Amino acid sequence: MDDAESLVRHANNINVARQLRDRFPHPYTRANASAFLKAATSAPEASNLAIEVDSYAIGAIGYVAGMDVERFSAEIGYWLGEAYWGKGIATEAVILMTAHVFESMNMLRLFALPFADNPGSLRVLEKAGYVREAILRSSSVKYGQPRDQLLYARVNENWRGVSV
């Protein structure tokens, strides 16, 4: 809960919010930070983590596991405070989270759906070894405007499989 103030400082930014799903609120308040931290710290599995620099939370990264036949696939998502954009921090976080999820969760595939007009996020994914697989035309609406998304994915080459 000590991260709440820092999260608000970096998350309460329209330039951050416009690149994320609607469940990421704007304005981002102390109550939003507290609710997020409570959910993240009480989850049985640590699927949402803070991105920290100098002991301050400046963003977050997480994944949502699929179900049924997609149970070995997960969507990865992240955000970073604008003051830290372009410094390689998000790329490092994606690389570390990808390795963690592949190794400890035995996921076969991780994917992301960034907005097509978000070049920073596209570069993060490409530098982290993700490959663009598709353009999803007008697949989302953000602030009343249709937006294309791109499908990026990375496959776990060391996947251990499962017995049937």
DSSP 33: H
Superfamily of domain 4-155: Gcn5-related N-acetyltransferase (GNAT) (3.40.630.30)
The yes-or-no verdict on residue 122 having pLDDT over 90 is: yes
Helical (H) or strand (E) element with 86: none
Residue 3 near residue 11, CB atoms below 8 Å:
no
Band (pLDDT 50/70/90 cuts) for residue 163 is: low
Q: Where are the domains of the chain?
A: 4-155
List C-alpha distances in Å: 122 to 50, 101, 126, 163: 21, 20, 6, 35
Report the first-to-last Cα separation within the chain, whole angstroms.
42
Give residue-wise pLDDT tens across range 72-99. Answer: 999 999 999 999 999 999 999 999 999 9
Give residue 130's pLDDT band: very low, low, confident or very high (50, 70, 90): very high
State both tokens at 77: 């998502």
pTM here?
A: 0.94
